[in-house]
Structure 1
Amino acid sequence: LPTLQFLWLILQHVLPKGLQRVRDYGFLHGNAKRLRVRIQAILLHQFNWNMPKLVATFTAKAIRICPCCQHEMKCVGITRTT
């Protein structure tokens, strides 16, 4: 691509001063998954659609076993070596 055309393509994605991207706020925010699920559940209930059952998910802790005594090991700190 010629330089000017490349710059034009990049600058099309830059917002004017004073404007904010909408998806950074509210239920469109990246960390708002729970809120989006609640909104979907409310809307599904309001329109009387068959709502799939919501199952609480959790992440299991990684358990490390000591090769000598066969007991669970716990992390007490992390060191960084260079």
Structure 2
Amino acid sequence: MTFRYTDSQTRQPATRTLPVVQFSWLILQHVLPKGLQRVRDYGLLHGSARTLRLNIQLMLLGLPTWQLSVKTEPLKATRDCPSCQQAMHCVGITRPR
């Protein structure tokens, strides 16, 4: 199998020829087993942790972090009970498999 790709070091397009089994192995290295989550979906690698990561980087460099330390409160969606008009609280979410 012959395929084109962009070389990460030279940023130039290149072609490569491999047997089908070896090509499939290269692709399947990026597939997670069922039930596992990508690590970047949690903790410091999560997309919403960008400000925290920047603050940590600035602290490690010895720079002041006061520009990025402004925290905003996330907006929470509220829904009232149709019968008693009290705020309902989410206790869990289920997703179909």
TM-score after normalising by structure 2: 0.41
User: Higher strand fraction: Structure 1 or Structure 2?
Assistant: 2
Please state which structure has a larger fraction of its residues in helix.
1
Q: Report which of the two structures shows the higher radius of gyration computed on alpha carbons.
A: 1
